[in-house]
A and B are shown apart, each in its own frame.
Chain A
Amino acid sequence: MLYLDHAATTPVRPEAREAMAPLLDREFGNPSGIHAVSRRAKDLLEDARERIAGLLGAAHPLDVVFTGGGTESDNLGLAGPALAGGARGGIVTTAVEHAAVLETARFLGRLGCPVAFVGVDRAGRVSPEDVVAAIDGATRVVSVMAANNETGVVQPVAEVAAAARRASPGVLVHTDAVQAFVSRDVDLAGLGADMLTVSSHKVGGPKGVGALVLRPGIDLEPVIHGGGHELGRRSGTHDVAGIVGMAAALEAASKDRDRFSQDVDEARRRFERRVIAEVPGAVITAAGVDRLVQHSHFRIEGFDAETLLIRLDSAGVAAAAGSACHSGAIEVSHVLAAMGMNESEARSSVRFTFGWTTRPEDGDAAADAVIAAVEGLR
């Protein structure tokens, strides 16, 4: 089996598994309690919080809010400030965000928040000028992803953040760094962001855990209501094992970045070089711009992605198209549409994403698989 869908999810790293093991075994405590069992769980939870705060540049550990994943972090990052204090603050975001951001923005729009979606160029990049043009006095949150989940294209978040603040000093800048973290040294200061979303399972931790990291002093309306955990910002008993696993995975990914980038870059280089050379009609998406090292998004003219992915799956190669609907049918990607791709180009686009278990020679195997899958169709 050749797994080329690491952007969907990636295997749990051994560091995460080891860190979680005691919590699945003896350390079962609920951290919100007064007794010794709770105290030990609380200690593990807060240790994880401190380490994540350090990794992502939070000024204080309490500026890390644990959530149920990247999607929830994005929901909280947009709705939290927009709705805080009963307000209906405005949202400015891009047309190529993950659905977690887009759909939250649309939801807030239905609640009466002014919402603007900023377009991108043909490579999928948003320009700071366009973001600024969409900002007005009502804008509360500007959300621009660190890198796109489909194409891997990196957004100029720091430039957007600086321009947005110049235009309107009160805005908060949120960035979804779910895909970027594993290969880029992202933190609040480096991106100039006020809020940053990370997900555990995209970097080798367990699923169902994420975090929203904040600059100090940001008032959030919760989206999950209940017993007031996480300083009232996110209720619900902590998934201590998941959170500890996430902390270990984020740390491991951060330490592993150089090695990761080297191996994955080599794998992608080998893959793209051969596919371009040997498959007529192969086009790499956004090849000329800054994109995450682990993403190879491409199309082969005249071959629909659905058929290609099924042929690859039959050959033991796991890959994806941009987006799939609830039933699993492939949908035309809003990201590619926003980049100006026509429907047939979008419907032939396929995403290979490499990950921490990828070895350089997997790039050759990936190329072989595509060449074989296409051969059979000619």
Chain B
Amino acid sequence: MRALVAMSGGVDSSVAAAVMVEQGHEVVGVTLKQWEGPDGRLPTAGCCTVADAEDARRVAARLGVPYYVLDYTDQFAREVVARFGEGYLAGRTPNPCIECNRRVRFGALLDRVEALGCDVLVTGHHARVDHVDGRFRLLAGRDSAKDQSYVLHMLGQAELARIVLPIGEMTKEQVRAEAKRLGLRTATKPDSQDLCFVQGDYRDFLREHFPDSARPGSIVDSDGVVVGSHDGVSGFTVGQRRGLGVSVGEPRYVLRVDAATATVTLGPRSALEVEGCALDEVSFVAGAAVSDGLEVGVKVRYRSRPVPAVLRRSAAGWQIRFDRPAEGVAPGQAAVFYLDDEVLGGGTIVAAA
């Protein structure tokens, strides 16, 4: 088959392309230009830079496959960056990687695979797709430390039918060893960490691009007593402990961020624990919804372990009831449902409930 490989210039997508080539598929490599510097070029620092595109281009050349840079700056600004800023302004903790996957990579780009003459879209995500009894399943990556299935939970049958994730069976060490064996120049490149469109601190980015996030306000304790002030809610996310700028004896954590009143509410760690939460944008990998009351493991943030919970459906939508009170449940983050290593689906956390 003919495979369109989304190459970021990192080692995972480099090896994903290499695996497809080794398996005898025809490969076309692309890098999405998602964000641009002030002069309209790819940024020179951060992720998705000119240097990353050059790495991807060199890997494609080494593999002997065509390579293109596709311009997705308009879509990315609209669908990912604007939502990211709006989410923060609304007091949520948005996950732009998920919106990028939902709307750009596995949205606009996946829709274009055929037009670009290809059959499938390939990425370097650490996750697996299998096909059992006519149904596609999304599974966690073999390397649990690198598993990225959380950010892919929105994929359904129509998407998974046209997606190949070749490195999901490999550990990161195996990926690097394969890159080294093939002489790819990305073999020892460090993993990308931060948001691809932000250079440095994302709070500075928010202040620059979404000035409302830099509106000063009060920091209050859970009983409503003002304990300090801040120069913008963009500096705070639910569950945050460091950098609060207040000292009130025992450790304090951010419980809530209310952008409308520019108020940040703190409390003790115990107050972070919630019994459950309400979700929207819920989707299921299988297409059909799971049954009300299903016991699942739920990940409420990217780098966390699934915690046992029950999925509940009501007229108001889907809710999660945790078996034991859970911490770090931040509106805007995704809640992803697992049965062992299979992703059943997920949604966006609206509020603790």
* Distance from A334 Cβ to chain B, minimum over Cβ atoms (Å): 11
- A306 — which chain B residues lie within 8 A by C-beta? 68, 70-71
Which DSSP category, helix, strand, loop or mixed, fits chain B's interface?
Answer: mixed
* Distance from A377 Cβ to chain B, minimum over Cβ atoms (Å): 6
* Bound CA–CA A144/B66 (angstroms): 37
Q: Are A314 and B117 in contact (CB under 8 A)?
A: yes
| B interface footprint on A352-378 (CB within 8 Å = 1, 0 otherwise) | 000000000000000000000000110
Interface residue A325 (Cβ < 8 Å from any Cβ of B)? yes
Q: Are B116 and A311 in contact (CB under 8 A)?
A: yes
Interface residue A85 (Cβ < 8 Å from any Cβ of B)? no
Q: Are B28 and A314 in contact (CB under 8 A)?
A: yes
* Bound CA–CA A329/B70 (angstroms): 6
Closest to A328 in B: B69
- A310 — which chain B residues lie within 8 A by C-beta? 28, 66, 68, 116-117
- B70 — which chain A residues lie within 8 A by C-beta? 306, 329
Interface residues in B68-97 (C-beta closer than 8 Å to A): 68-71
* Distance from B343 Cβ to chain A, minimum over Cβ atoms (Å): 31
Closest to B71 in A: A329
Q: Are B42 and A327 in contact (CB under 8 A)?
A: yes
- B41 — which chain A residues lie within 8 A by C-beta? 325-327
Report the tally of A-B residue pairs with Cβ distances under 8 A.
47
- B115 — which chain A residues lie within 8 A by C-beta? 307, 311, 376-377
Q: Are B53 and A307 in contact (CB under 8 A)?
A: no
Interface residue A239 (Cβ < 8 Å from any Cβ of B)? no
Give the interface size class of chain B.
10 to 19
* Bound CA–CA A104/B112 (angstroms): 38
Interface residue B224 (Cβ < 8 Å from any Cβ of A)? no
Closest to A307 in B: B115
Interface residues in B20-65 (C-beta closer than 8 Å to A): 28, 31, 33, 40-42, 50, 53, 57
Q: Are B33 and A327 in contact (CB under 8 A)?
A: yes
| B interface footprint on A192-234 (CB within 8 Å = 1, 0 otherwise) | 0000000000000000000000000000000000000000000
Closest to A331 in B: B40
Q: Are A329 and B116 in contact (CB under 8 A)?
A: no
Interface residue A15 (Cβ < 8 Å from any Cβ of B)? no
* Bound CA–CA A306/B115 (angstroms): 11
Interface residue A313 (Cβ < 8 Å from any Cβ of B)? yes
Interface residue A120 (Cβ < 8 Å from any Cβ of B)? no
Q: Are B117 and A326 in contact (CB under 8 A)?
A: no
Q: Are A376 and B117 in contact (CB under 8 A)?
A: yes
Interface residue A330 (Cβ < 8 Å from any Cβ of B)? yes
Could you say which of A311, A313, A329, A377 contacts B69, with CB atoms under 8 Å apart? A329
| B interface footprint on A81-113 (CB within 8 Å = 1, 0 otherwise) | 000000000000000000000000000000000
Interface residues in A316-361 (C-beta closer than 8 Å to B): 325-331
Q: Are B66 and A313 in contact (CB under 8 A)?
A: yes
Closest to B52 in A: A327
Q: Are A325 and B28 in contact (CB under 8 A)?
A: no
Closest to B116 in A: A310
- A307 — which chain B residues lie within 8 A by C-beta? 112, 115-116
* Bound CA–CA A328/B54 (angstroms): 10
* Bound CA–CA A180/B50 (angstroms): 33
Closest to A306 in B: B70
Beyond the given A310-B117, A327-B42, could you list 4 further A-B residue pairs with CB under 8 A, ordered by the A residue number? A306-B71, A307-B112, A314-B28, A329-B42
Q: Please list the residues of chain A having a beta carbon within 8 angstroms of any beta carbon in chain B.
A: 306-307, 310-311, 313-314, 325-331, 376-377
